[in-house]
Structure 1
Amino acid sequence: MIREEPAFKIKNGNFPLFVLHVHTTDMDKLKSELETRLTQTPDFFTNTPVVLALAAIADSGVTPDLADLVTFMRTHGMWAAGVLGGSAEQRQAAMQAGLGLFPDAPSRRAQPQPEVPQAETQLAKTQPETPLPPPTKQPELPGLDATAIEDEPRKEATGSGRETPQPAAPQPTTMIVDKPVRTGQRIYARGGNLVVLAIVNAGAEVIADGDIHIYAPFRGRAIAGAQGNENARIFVHKLEAELISIAGCFQVFENGVPENVRGKPAQIRLDGTRLIFEPLPE
């Protein structure tokens, strides 16, 4: 008997999205500034899904007219897919406007400290207090954060006296592209870094959840930290970009990139919500 295929399947998806961080409840001001930005790149956001981040206005006590904002965005080719953050009233207004609700990132809660038996407490007080040595710091290398090395977690002893090994943390993957990225082509390094060894032409787009390294002329669009990694960086051998974006903060170059890095090796990083362009040694 031939098994009939189901009419649909539901699977998890992981897609890079632009995030529009709303910093004001004045929708007229927001639409005016947004229209100015969109007229600079009339075709870039065509049919592009966008998430509205409302965290900055969550405590304002104001519920903006999101339905009107959604209509305005669609006239400029931007399709609001949902909202992130916001107050209960704002999220309710978003649902009434036909928007989805993206879950907030789970906050880290302090773990309760285990109770120490009285005997162990008294024993601990008899031990001399020796300050721990400062954590070792990794050298700062391109594309790597200089982070402190934490002490190894304690290993639980088994009944045989052997230590139970701790599972290794998953390492980010790296996608390597050694062919030119053509106009209209899009490459996405999901969950890791992207290394491009050939030219990225104008109109091409390279995306990574981590860092982006381009060891050739770069004339297209680069989107690093696509899933919100604000520590992501972009390293370019020859910067002639159309657009640079890190963790949803982007900059369009209608009149070319900044003079101090134009056509030169450079790195781009995020400072708050501002993109910083720094030249690299040639």
Structure 2
Amino acid sequence: MAAVSSAKQAAERDAPFQLRGNSFTMMVLKVSDPLSPEFFPQLSVKVRQAPNFFRNAPVVLDFDELTDETPRFDVAALVTNLRTLYLLPVGFQGGPRAVQEGALAAGLTPMPAGRAAKLESARSADPQAASAPAQPAPPPEPVVVHRPTLVVTEPVRSGQQIYAEKTDLVITSSVSPGAEVVADGHIHVYGALRGRALAGVSGDQTARIFCQSLEAEVVSVAGLYRVSEDIGDDVLKKPVQIFLRDGYLHMEPL
């Protein structure tokens, strides 16, 4: 038995490939009006505000707001135009059948719908449920933090990325321009935050970012972000906490 197990392990080790499960954080682009003449000009402005953040970023297209009455548009052309902005569409969510077929033809992968969408679909399929009063969808479960807090005592230099998986991140020094600090939980920076800080990247909407001096290129909590051009003078270069409230990203002086 041991010999068979050993031979199997050796075969797996020598195989030319290995299939493994993993999870990745991807940006979601909600497509509300794909035919608007302002769609790409406004998106281009956003991308130029933080080119290092967006460049070659994998993107999921969210078509949930589109209906069968939405005028037909070319999904493949949409994907091509997004790639000219160095965004990389890889998947899609929701949308009417024609849009989904166009997305599949354009090489996009259907992504699992969120909990709210699944609940709504279940209600639509059940006539008795459809006649009942609508119930608010429960909020997504926050990420449960199990691991010890990751503490970094050295400055985070340009080009470095630090990821605190399933825990909080504490940095007792500063974060340089071009650096990126990422956490599934909270981020604490006891110095200047000049790079990019992304908290709650696995969906924890209770995550927060705390810093002694906010000078960041990009800050994000649970996927909602703000770039440096959108940071007001009332919080710039001041001790700040950043958090979500009512679906919006808030910044408050400490």
TM range (shorter): 0.7 to 0.9
Distance (whole Å) between structure 1 residues aligned to residue 202 and residue 69 of structure 2: 27
2:163 aligned residue (159, 163, 188): 188
1:52 aligned partner, one-letter code: L
Q: Is the 8 A contact 1:20 1:248 kept in 2?
A: no
Distance (whole Å) between structure 1 residues aligned to residue 31 and residue 214 of structure 2: 30
Distance (whole Å) between structure 2 residues aligned to residue 227 and residue 59 of structure 1: 32
> Cα deviations across residues 148-180 of structure 1 (Å, max 9, x unaligned)?
xxxxxxxxxxxxxxxxxxxxx964333222221
Larger radius of gyration: 1
Distance (whole Å) between structure 2 residues aligned to residue 17 and residue 192 of structure 1: 19
1:263 aligned residue (237, 242, 245): 237
How much does 1:55 deviate?
2.4
How much does 1:246 deviate?
1.8
Distance (whole Å) between structure 2 residues aligned to residue 77 and residue 193 of structure 1: 31
Distance (whole Å) between structure 2 residues aligned to residue 197 and residue 235 of structure 1: 12
Matching of residue 244 in structure 1 with residue 233 in structure 2: no
Q: What's the TM-score, normalizing by structure 1?
A: 0.69
Instruction: Give the equivalent residue in structure 1 for 2:47.
Output: 38
Instruction: Give the equivalent residue in structure 2 for 1:165.
Output: none
Distance (whole Å) between structure 1 residues aligned to residue 248 and residue 11 of structure 2: 55
1:78/1:101 CA distance change after superposition, 3 Å: same
> Cα deviations across residues 102-131 of structure 1 (Å, max 9, x unaligned)?
10134586xxxxxxxxxxxxxxxxxxxxxx
Q: Is the 8 A contact 1:63 1:93 kept in 2?
A: no
Instruction: Give the equivalent residue in structure 2 for 1:7.
Output: 16
Instruction: Give the equivalent residue in structure 2 for 1:127.
Output: none
Q: What's the TM-score, normalizing by structure 2?
A: 0.76
Question: Counterpart of 1:44 in 2: which secondary structure?
Answer: helix
Question: Counterpart of 1:187 in 2: which secondary structure?
Answer: strand
How much does 1:63 deviate?
5.0
Instruction: Give the equivalent residue in structure 2 for 1:213.
Output: 188
Q: Is the 8 A contact 1:27 1:64 kept in 2?
A: no
1:61/1:251 CA distance change after superposition, 3 Å: same
Distance (whole Å) between structure 2 residues aligned to residue 106 and residue 257 of structure 1: 32
Question: Counterpart of 1:55 in 2: which secondary structure?
Answer: coil
1:107-118 alignment to 2 at 5 Å?
107=116
> Cα deviations across residues 242-281 of structure 1 (Å, max 9, x unaligned)?
1111222211114x8311111111111123443211011x
1:160-239 alignment to 2 at 5 Å?
171-173=145-147, 174-239=149-214
1:80 aligned residue (78, 89, 101): 89
Q: Is the 8 A contact 1:17 1:226 kept in 2?
A: no
When structure 1 is superposed on structure 2, of 16-25 and 261-270 the one drifting more is: 16-25
Question: Counterpart of 2:192 in 1: which secondary structure?
Answer: strand
Unaligned residue ranges in structure 2 (runs of 5+):
1-6, 120-142
2:18 aligned partner, one-letter code: K
Q: Is the 8 A contact 2:145 2:166 kept in 1?
A: no
Q: Is the 8 A contact 2:184 2:199 kept in 1?
A: yes
Counting helix residues as a fraction of each chain, which structure ranks higher?
2
Aligned length: 220
1:18 aligned residue (15, 27, 30): 27
